[in-house]
Amino acid sequence: MNAPAIYSLKGKRVFVAGHRGMAGSAIVRRLEREDCEILSIERAALDLRRQGDVEAWFAAHRPHAVFLAAGTVGGIMANATRPAEFLTDNLLIELNTIETAYRSGVEKLLFLGSSCIYPKFAAQPIREEELLTGALEPTNEPYAIAKIAGVKLCETYRRQYGSDFISAMPTNLFGPGDSYAPGSAHVLPALIDRAHKAKIEALSELVVWGSGTPRREFLYVDDLADACVFLMQRYSGPEHLNVGFGDDIAIADLAAMIANIVGFEGRIVLDPTKPDGTPRKLLDTGRLAAMGWRPKVDFSEGLSRAYRWYLDNVA
């Protein structure tokens, strides 16, 4: 049974920060089924890193609720090569948006974090309590520290000011709107792109970074969006909540699944000069499940949908 609804979006002005990103655009799609007014703004018109601009926009549009899905994101290489940007952009965006939401009387805010906030060697599946119990994975430490700051902003604004600000920690996401930029994408879109090109160019090999042994959990982004709306309506509390799929897969097995869906029939070869990152980060989603929420999109179905989106929009 679902936890009772405690916050209604009916008739509310709901700001989705980051509506062009994969998570933000999925939240907009999901909110279209609610009786609310969706507010969004292009990055060229409002840079969330500029505090005065954020204050002016909030004063003009007065959102009742905010989904904070904006941020500088990318795969393991983007994190490793642009650490200052990942730290600074995300800190500025979170601080400006959360502080301004508080000052302008926003009723409810949901902050989207990431499963990389947890220690590199956290006990699996990772419970929410693992936060700050050990050292982070070095390849994404700056991003993780920014996301931990976001969690703490929500927690402390609630404690000191009584703001109803909550945080959700999603596992690795995929689906429509993903970034396929070679070199900076996350593993799943990167492998779809490479396998597709290898097939088209009749190459004999599909290269997979690292040892192939790290395990990752993937959640279809429309499921994440559904969980975010569910939490906005049904959760109020200082603890961040994990949002996961419930199962993970080794990168080598993921590559084989992608090759199969794409129709690439050559060999899969590993490139051990590339980093593995954290060995495993499967989330414990017991708390969210106890509230009545579960993902709906099966992993192989989600992969097929992601490939179809890639064919229609990227390839």
Least separation in angstroms between residue 75's CB and ligand GFB is 3
Distance CA 160, CA 267 (A): 57
Distance CA 304, CA 236 (A): 35
* Annotated active-site residue in 102, 118, 143, 157: 143
Closer Cβ to ligand GFB, 94 or 164, answer by number: 94
* Residue 143 annotated among the catalytic residues of the structure: yes
Distance CA 245, CA 220 (A): 8
Closer Cβ to ligand GFB, 106 or 262, answer by number: 262
Beta bridge partners of 249: 216
Least separation in angstroms between residue 215's CB and ligand GFB is 9
Least separation in angstroms between residue 155's CB and ligand GFB is 20
Closest listed residue to residue 26, CA positions, set 112, 125, 96: 112
DSSP assignment letter at 216: E
Q: Which residue is nearest to ligand GFB (CB)?
A: 75
- Give residues in contact with ligand GFB (CB under 6 A): 75-77, 79, 114, 116, 139-140, 143, 172, 185-187, 190-191, 208-210, 214, 216, 251, 274-277
Least separation in angstroms between residue 87's CB and ligand GFB is 11
Least separation in angstroms between residue 179's CB and ligand GFB is 10
| Helices within the chain (DSSP H only) | 22-31, 51-61, 76-81, 83-103, 141-161, 187-200, 221-234, 251-262, 286-290, 299-313
Least separation in angstroms between residue 153's CB and ligand GFB is 18
Closer Cβ to ligand GFB, 98 or 116, answer by number: 116
Closer Cβ to ligand GFB, 190 or 262, answer by number: 190
What the block records as the tokens of 150 is 């976001």
* Tally of CB atoms within 10 A around 46: 18
Closer Cβ to ligand GFB, 57 or 174, answer by number: 174
Burial 225-255, CB ≥16 within 10 A → b, else e = bbbbbbbbbbbeeeebbbbbbbebbebeebb
Closer Cβ to ligand GFB, 66 or 208, answer by number: 208
Distance CA 115, CA 157 (A): 22
Give CA torsion, residues 271, 221, 265, 196, to 10 deg: -80
CB 118 within 8 A of CB 126: yes
Distance CA 17, CA 27 (A): 10
DSSP assignment letter at 280: B
- Catalytic residue positions, numbered: 143
